[in-house]
Amino acid sequence: MTLFGVVCLLPAVYMLVESFVASDGTLTLVNYTRLLSEARQRELLLNTITLGVAASAIASAIGIPLGFLLARLKLPIVALLRIGLLVPLAIPPYVLALVWAFATDYSAVTYSLTGGAIVLGIGFFPLSMLASEAGFRGIDASLEQAGLVIATPRRVFFSITLPLVWPFVSAAGLLVFALSVAEFGVPGLLRIRVFTTEVFTAFAALYDFGRATALAVPLLVITLIAAMIARWIAGERLLATSAGWRPAVWCPHTVLKAAVILWVLAVIAVVTAVPIAVLIANAKHVIANIILSWSAIRTSIVLSTLGATCIVMVGVVLGYGRGRMRSRAHILADLFLIAAFAVPSTVMGVGMIGLWNRPAIPIELYASRLAILMAYMARFLPVAVLIIAASVRQTPRALEEAAEISGAPWARTFARIVIPQIRPSIVGAWIAVFIFTFGELGTTLLVTPPGESTLPVRVYTLIANSHEGEIATLALLQVVATVIPICIFVLGFGRVKDA
Amino acid sequence: MSTDAFVRVINIRKQLGDRVVLNDFSLELNKGEFVALLGRSGSGKTTILRLLAGLETPDAGEIWIAGSLVSKDGRNYVPPRLRGIGFVFQDLALWPHMTIHQSVDFVLAASSIPKLERGKRINDVLTTARIPDLGQRYPHQLSGGERQRAALARALAPAPRVLLLDEPMSSLDADLKSELVSELQTLHRTFALTTMYVTHDVAEISRLADRAIQMSSGVLPPR
């Protein structure tokens, strides 16, 4: 827990504290009076909230109906459709922004809030879809049938189904809002002025640390409030689904069913096939460009693999602890985990530099690759903990108690009983973290030492002064590298399940 | 087969997946009769209740309720809400986001009962179910027996013509079960409801039912 506190939470706390400290070390409100006196801050706030709300609305509008269909439609190809619809989650948002720029030919609509909201809505709709699917699937069929014996299907849907699904849908909406507000790559590429880009500019271009910390505070507050409300609404459902239910099934007539399947396939084409096709169409001199950027590609592969492995190792221990918490402390633990995940990438980056780049630290953290690994740990350890904790909660405690009674020590019980039960979630957490780290841009851009570069950082720095053929090639490589582990996971675990 | 029966199930066939649950099954219930259905798990007891309620469609055969053809040969002619059915599910299916008062109000509103009248009806039905003071509670705030009564109150509220009970007491202890059986007996006498009751418990049947039907693999044995 100390490691989690120091790595994940301390940079954000440091930013908050530093925003009240003047350059001579005295307490001051000057950063805030500067912020409040500037009219452009109100524009920043408006842009940030508009982007978050619009992205969340688009993600919900696409994700909720798809979630309903995946949960209720009885089709042999549902699993395949789900994989197709999850692909956007594996594509880093900045790559989607690049696709958007290529597709709209760098016109006025490319560099607009609308464009940013569409890109983020498409990038994050799978979260809304998965949450809605879990919500619709979690409703016991008899709850709706008890309504159907007395009321119309429409009335049952609005009075029973929707209120029961609402916590899932609204929590996902808030999560998408928080992630969109915290996102740096998309507004950075599409030149949308929001808090994350301003924090980056204040620190990296203007070297104004005080301004960067003060700009980070409203951003932190917005994202944290959204994440906290999501936790409050969804409660324990974030980590567990009810057991012993019978899922409801939707059986439309043949024509409607065909129309629905065609619509889902059209969505898959737009959100998956089109982005990949646009990148392929724009990619040029593939081999030559890969060789040119090989160092960055290799660094990304090595650091993401190492990072995901370290994060999951720590995540297993913390996830088990969270999953088995009995006291009310679990609410506090969730709040910290969600708060840490919601810290925007540029805020985390500036906080890490301010905190760790000092002579008193014995290790040369800031000037080494260790800084990138720390950044990955700071941003994505909460993801691994939440995924593994959810799995631990689904595993009956009686399994461990039976081992304890038979005299097995805790370590042996953990290794032989707990780990095999939660193995799919460990693999899932590793893949999720690998995908996130492989696409991480905001924090890495700030903490990467001189002479080093990861693939996203290389793409971002090439955008200003390189041919789009090279950028498209590297973005395509980014997509391929993140989709491959998903396919291995799905095929590998699918075979285990079938066996 | 008599044409005077209140509920008539004629030569029903129902297949769920690969398994034929009911095959050429027939049954009659007279008005006000209390019939118990007995049988092993998978013998089709619950399926019959769901077919009567319109939650499933028979692959073949006919279902008549109060002289109206409601289902025939793969089609439901009357939707569940218009059949006049009260249903107590095995897991009770109490809506977790509504208080008991709100649940009963929901079914009364669906029956187009005016708002002014609903308040009194809710009090009456909660009193009948012996939970007059628990209307403002959510299901998770009730004990097992109270939840049972709440489910019964919700089923009785719109004054159904037929009451279907799917093993509603399977999860209760013996004392509570005995108490609720007595109450169910009183309710049946008071309202003279045509009732079909699925159970495994022979003691319950002897106290409650006018007639018991033993089911085996979905085929009704000769009486």
pLDDT digits (tens, 9 = 90+) for B179-220: 778 878 888 888 888 999 998 777 778 778 889 888 875 444
Q: Which of A167-176, A459-468, B19-28 has the lowest mean pLDDT?
A: A459-468
Are the Cβ atoms of A146 and B158 closer than 8 angstroms? Answer: no
Lowest mean pLDDT among A140-144, A210-214, A256-260, B111-115: A210-214
Band (pLDDT 50/70/90 cuts) for residue A237 is low
A350-377 tens-digit pLDDT:
888 888 777 777 666 667 788 899 899 9
CB contact under 8 Å between A151 and B106, yes or no, is: yes
Residue A74 in contact with partner chain B when CB distance is under 8 A: no
Strongest mean pLDDT among A40-54, A247-261, B64-78: B64-78
Report the gap between the CA of B157 and the closest CA in chain A (Å).
10
pLDDT band at residue A236 using 50, 70 and 90 as cut-offs: low
Res B3: pLDDT: 62
Instruction: Report the percentage of chain A scoring pLDDT > 70.
Output: 92
Q: Which of A189-193, A196-200, A225-229, A390-394 has the lowest mean pLDDT?
A: A225-229
DSSP 8-state secondary structure symbol assigned to residue B34: E
Q: Does B211 touch chain A (CB under 8 A)?
A: no
State the smallest CA–CA distance between residue A215 and chain B in angstroms.
Answer: 41
Contact B135/A at CB under 8 A: no
Residues of B with CB below 8 A from A151's CB? 81, 106-107, 110
Please tell me if residue B54 touches chain A, with a CB cutoff of 8 Å.
Answer: yes
Distance (Å) of CA B192 to CA A128, A160, A165, A234, B161: 50, 31, 39, 45, 9
Number of helices (H), then strands (E), in chain A: 26, 0
Place of tokens 């209740």: B49
Q: Distance between CA A51 and CA A181 in Å, rounded?
A: 7
For residue range A321-334, what is the model confidence (pLDDT) as tens digits? 888 887 677 777 87
Alpha helices in A357-467 (DSSP H): 370-394, 397-405, 410-413, 419-439, 442-447, 455-463
Retrieve residue B34's tokens. 């209390």
3-class DSSP state for residue B7?
strand
CB contact under 8 A, A148 and B91: no
Q: Provide the pLDDT confidence category of residue A246 given band limits of 50, 70 and 90.
A: low
Q: Within 10 A of A126 (CB to CB), how many other CB atoms are there?
A: 25
Chain A residues touching B74 at Cβ < 8 A: none
- Distance in angstroms (rounded) separating the CA atoms of residues A188 and A444: 14
Q: From chain A, pick out residues whose CB is under 8 angstroms from the CB of B97.
A: 163-164
Are B6 and B30 contacting, i.e. CB atoms less than 8 angstroms apart? Answer: yes
Task: Outline where B45-173 has alpha helix (H).
Answer: 45-53, 100-110, 115-128, 144-156
Cα–Cα distance between A144 and B52 in angstroms, integer? 17
pLDDT band at A222 (very low <50, low <70, confident <90, very high): confident
Contact A149 B111 (CB under 8 A): no
The whole-number average pLDDT for the span A68-86 is 85
What DSSP assignment string belongs to A51-98? Answer: HHHHHHHHHHHHHHHHHHHHHHB--TTHHHHHHHHHHHHHS-HHHHHH
Considering only CB atoms, which chain B residues are within 8 Å of A152?
81, 110
Average pLDDT over residues A474-487: 81
- Region for residue A285 given its phi and psi (left: phi exceeds 0; alpha: psi -120 to 50; beta: otherwise): left
Residue A340 CB coordination number (10 Å)? 25
Helix (H, G, I), strand (E, B) or coil at B214: strand
Radius of gyration of the CA atoms of chain A, in A: 23
Map residue B153 onto helix, strand or coil: helix
pLDDT higher than 90, residue B172: no
- Binary contact (A148, B80; C-beta < 8 A): yes
pLDDT band at B30 (very low <50, low <70, confident <90, very high): very high
Average pLDDT for residues A221-234, to the nearest whole number?
Answer: 77
| pLDDT, position A405 | 72
Q: How far apart are CA B108 and CA A351, in angstroms?
A: 59
Q: Is A293 helix (H, G, I), strand (E, B) or coil?
A: coil
- Indicate yes or no: CB of B83 within 8 angstroms of CB of A151: no
B133: left (phi over 0), alpha (psi -120 to 50) or beta: alpha
The pLDDT score that the predictor gives to residue A57 is 95
A322 sits in which H/E element: helix A294-323
**CB distance B87–A146 less than 8 Å?**
yes
Residues of B in contact with A244 (CB under 8 A): 91
The C-alpha atoms of residue B105 and residue B110 are separated, in whole angstroms, by 8
Q: Between chains, do A148 and B111 touch, taking CB under 8 Å as contact? A: no
* Interacting residues of A106 by C-beta distance below 8 A, sequence separation 6+: none
In this prediction, residue A327 carries a pLDDT of 67
Cβ contact, residue pair B111, A159, below 8 Å: no
Model confidence band, residue A3 (pLDDT cutoffs 50, 70, 90): confident
* pLDDT for A499: 35
Sign for the CA dihedral angle at A58, A59, A62, A65 comes to negative
Chain A residue closest in CA terms to B86: A149
Is the pLDDT at A100 greater than 70? The verdict is yes
How does residue A493 score in pLDDT terms, banded at 50, 70 and 90? Answer: low
Condensed to tens digits (0 to 9), the pLDDT of residues A180-214 reads 988 888 998 898 988 888 888 887 777 777 777 77
Cα separation, B123 vs B120, in Å, equals: 5
To the nearest whole Å, the CA of A153 is away from the closest chain B CA by 9
Rounded distance between C-alpha atoms, residue A425 and residue A440, angstroms: 22
d(C-alpha A171, C-alpha A134), whole Å: 12
Average pLDDT, chain A: 83
C-beta atoms of A147 and B106 within 8 A: yes
CA pair distance B156, B135, nearest whole angstrom: 15
**pLDDT at residue A242 greater than cutoff 60:** no
Concatenated DSSP letters for A23-44? TTS-B--HHHHHHHH-HHHHHH
The residues that bridge with B69 in the sheet, in sequence order, are B64
- End-to-end, the C-alpha distance of chain A in Å comes to 38
> At residue A408, does pLDDT exceed 50?
yes
The highest-confidence range among A227-236, A309-318, B91-100, by mean pLDDT, is A309-318
Amino acid, res. A207: Y
Dist CA B26 CA B13 (whole Å): 9
Q: Quick one: what percent of chain B has pLDDT higher than 70?
A: 95
Q: What angle do CA A398, A395, A83 make, to 5 degrees?
A: 165
Predicted confidence (pLDDT) at residue A496 exceeds the cutoff of 50: no
| B52/B35 Cα distance (integer angstroms) | 14
Q: A149 — contact with chain B (CB < 8 Å)?
A: yes
Contacts 24+ apart (CB under 8 A), A394-400: A394/A240, A394/A241, A395/A323, A395/A421, A395/A422, A397/A324
